Amino acid sequence: MKRWILVGLLLIIPQIIQAGEAPSPTAPTDAIKTEAPVPSENPAGEVPLGQPMGTERVSNDIFEKKGGNIHPFLAITEYWTDNAFDTHSNQKSDFTTVISPGIYLALPGMKERIRPIETLNITPGGSTLTRFGVQYPRVFQTYLYYRADIEHYLDSHELNYTSHTVEGVAQYNMRGGLSFEVDDQFVKSRTQRGTGFSFELDKFYGNLFSATAKYEIGDKTLVRVDYSNYYLHFIAPENRFRDRDDNTVSAYLFYKLWPKTALFVEYDYVDITYNQDVVSGSSEQHFFAGLKWDITDKTKGSIKAGYGIKDFNNSTVGSHSHNDLYVEIQLDHKFSPKTTLLVRGSRKTEETDVAQGNFIVADTIGTTLLHRFTTKVTGSLDLSYTNEKYNGVVTFGDETKALNDQYLRAGIAAQYEFKDWLKFDLGYVFSDRISNISALSYINNTIYLRASAIY
């Protein structure tokens, strides 16, 4: 019953706010996993000081506007969970300490907060959502970002792990409306336990390189071309079937309806090549039409919908191609200076994390409600739902069927700003995997306390 109550809350929260009702003080968080509406496989996440476990986040503004070139930061988080391995039975509780040191360097110095690229290793091309990017005001802007997450379990020492994220960006804006940007992100990380057939730490290396060129044609029209390469390599031999190399080319045409609102069309071509023949490689084509807006400080976001075609290289796949509807929404809306709603949602195909599967069709919706109760206290409520349908029949234990997983997540948190450079977070996260293979289902309850500081 609890899981369906969460789904109902997820659907009615926007209506409650629009009706003018204040959020309940008893139900106060990149992603975004942001977050994260999908199970995060990147402990670095979107927010530099927030979410080593991938889902808990109290504020989208951990980096306040600070000038300067060098910004070291540090977060220390204590977790208690009642299901450290995310298992259906024989659940084991444990305490975890996560130390997250990091630094970012900007040249020239800038006040804009750094938001690392969100990646997910089951997403073709690596990027979880469309990156519209930031147009920096200077002719030349660079930054370098590094973060580590050092996880230490009190009892389950086999789960101890240290992940690393390194990211660099260089942007050059020429006179006449032409600009170039080059990004690169390297991660040493691990997948989240309790996804696919895995209840272990599936360690991997990932690297996403991208290059973008934009050109403004007059006052109303902008064209953009992107190229990216996503390289993925797993450490354990049993996971090597997931090693792959994705190359993506994208083209956009934007037409400005109003100064801060634009229509756009988008075309993507993604070539997905696996190192082994266990899973078929494929190519994807996406055709989108969308709307992007940034209307005052109150509302900004984008919505796009289109059609996708996935063609397989291997003739053993039941159908040589899969056609489907693709949708993506990103919305940040301020109902008042104290209350903000974030919405992230998508429908798309993803790469399989089970050797017997061909691919996944994933539907995701996530909302985050932020409310500032006082000048020092902020509360948040996170709700997300993901439905993953695997193509292909799989066998786990004594069950054989087409795998279908649903993930429900809810989080409640409060943040206290002791100083402008020092903050404390207290939160609770509920996770529920509902699988049609009963042995894969589990429930996880996590409580955490975090101290974070930035210079």
Q: Which amino acid is at 442?
A: Y
Q: Tens digits of per-residue pLDDT, 20-35?
A: 333 333 222 222 222 2
Model pTM score: 0.85
DSSP tag of 157: G
Tokens linked to 372 = 């500032």
Distance CA 347, CA 361 (A): 7
C-beta neighbour count of 269 within 10 angstroms: 13
Range from 31-35, 117-121, 340-344 carrying the lowest mean pLDDT: 31-35
Assess contact for 152 and 97: CB atoms under 8 A. Answer: yes
C-beta neighbour count of 89 within 10 angstroms: 7
Distance CA 424, CA 426 (A): 7
Range from 44-48, 338-342, 348-352 carrying the lowest mean pLDDT: 44-48
The pLDDT of residue 379 is above 80 = yes
Q: Tens digits of per-residue pLDDT, 440-455?
A: 999 999 999 999 998 8
Give residue 229's pLDDT band: very low, low, confident or very high (50, 70, 90).
Answer: very high
| DSSP structure string for 48-69 | TTT-TTSS--S-S-SS----SS
Structural domains of the chain sorted by starting position, each given as residue range(s) with its CATH number in brackets:
2-454 (2.40.170)
DSSP tag of 127: B
Closest by Cα among 448, 429, 428, 348 to 388: 348
Q: Which amino acid is at 258?
A: W
% of the chain beyond a pLDDT of 90: 71
Q: Tens digits of per-residue pLDDT, 318-336?
A: 567 899 999 999 999 999 9
End-to-end CA distance of the chain: 45
Question: HSE (CB half, 13 Å, CA atoms) of 65?
Answer: 2
How does strand 140-153 pair with strand 161-173?
antiparallel
Assess contact for 185 and 171: CB atoms under 8 A. Answer: no
